[in-house]
Amino acid sequence: MSAAPAGRLSPSTIALLTLPPLFWAGNAVVGRLMNQTVPPSTLNFLRWGLALLILLPVAGWVLRPGSSLWPQWRRFALLGALGVGSYNALQYLALKTSTPLNVTLVASSMPVWMLLVGRIGFGAPVTPRAALGAACSLAGVAVVLSGGSLAHLLAVKLVPGDGWILLAALVWAWYSWLLVRPPQGGYAPDIKADWAAFLMAQMVMGLVWSGGLAAAEWLYLPSDTRIVWGWPLAAALLYVAIFPSLLAYRSWAAGVGRVGPAVASFFVNLTPLFAAVLSGAMLGEWPQWFHVAGFGCIVAGIVISSPRKSR
């Protein structure tokens, strides 16, 4: 089995792969802020339901009875279960019981899982360059999260919620590889060629999964499960439906299609960097030396792991 397609990192590709971490950093903040306002699986269901309504005018044809979605519903159901139904619900669940610092620290292992899933599940080789790039990128994340202090980093204690984000990282790795290595026969060409239709096909199937999780949440969680309606929730839903959902998934799919999942995964480690900078800005604190050092390590990992020549 041949390796996933990979090309050089052009400025436009770098932009495509940088936007999702920026939006996902905001998503982590919003998810943490909303953990007393709406249950995690319910937040995920509302998020994607609103995103579907926003996308409906430009990609509603996918839902018609004669659409090529329905003969391939199993393939899109798998993508929807991973990228829409599971990953985000696991992330919100992790933020319910874990701190943003722990979540971003555990999620920074994404390049490692992307390489392992690619090797074990899709036969993609792990090159020494990719392994070295993963080490550099993880070092950069550690510098940012530790604030330049080893004692601070060693003091971090993992809690059960960190296991959920680890599972989420594995789910995202599988999802990303399926974008470039679809099941035998591939995805419907007319849907695959239209980014809005491709995302819509995933959302409609993913909403079935996320709806089931939300229903289970209300049936089996303690009786104090509730939704606090108001403008904070409305603003949060609008943000998570547009930026980390529609725009981030569009950019991620396009970027992965250009350079492959393994190289793209290194950009995920920009998420905690953006989260640190955004948090600093919100608190009136400007980035410090360790932010610059961490950014340098992360960029070094991206450059080292990227291919030298387009193929």
Higher pLDDT, residue 259 or 310: 259
pLDDT, average across residues 25-29: 86
> Does residue 289 lie in a domain region?
yes
Residue 310 has pLDDT above 50, yes or no: no
pLDDT at residue number 1: 38
**Band of residue 235 on the pLDDT scale cut at 50, 70, 90:** very high
> Does residue 271 lie in a domain region?
yes
Please give the share of the chain, as a percent, with pLDDT higher than 90: 40
pLDDT, average across residues 28-42: 88
Higher pLDDT, residue 273 or 248: 248
Residue 5 has pLDDT above 60, yes or no: no
Residue 29 has pLDDT above 70, yes or no: yes
Measure the CA angle with vertex 266, ends 26 and 93; round to 5°.
45
* 3-state SS assignment for residue 109: coil
Distances in Å between the Cα of 285 and the Cα atoms of 24, 143, 147, 288 are 21, 17, 13, 9
Q: Which two tokens stand for residue 154?
A: 């060693």
Lowest mean pLDDT among 15-29, 149-163, 199-213: 149-163
Q: How many domains is the chain built from?
A: 1
pLDDT at residue number 3: 42
> Does residue 176 lie in a domain region?
yes
pLDDT at residue number 158: 66
pLDDT, average across residues 235-263: 91
Residue 277 has pLDDT above 50, yes or no: yes
Quote the domain boundaries for residue 267. 11-305
The two most distant CA atoms of the chain are separated, in Å, by 60
pLDDT at residue number 311: 41
> Does residue 225 lie in a domain region?
yes
Distances in Å between the Cα of 87 and the Cα atoms of 45, 63, 83, 287, 288 are 12, 23, 5, 30, 32
> Does residue 4 lie in a domain region?
no
Average pLDDT of the chain, as a whole number: 84
**Band of residue 17 on the pLDDT scale cut at 50, 70, 90:** very high
Q: Which two tokens stand for residue 194?
A: 């239209």
pLDDT at residue number 7: 59
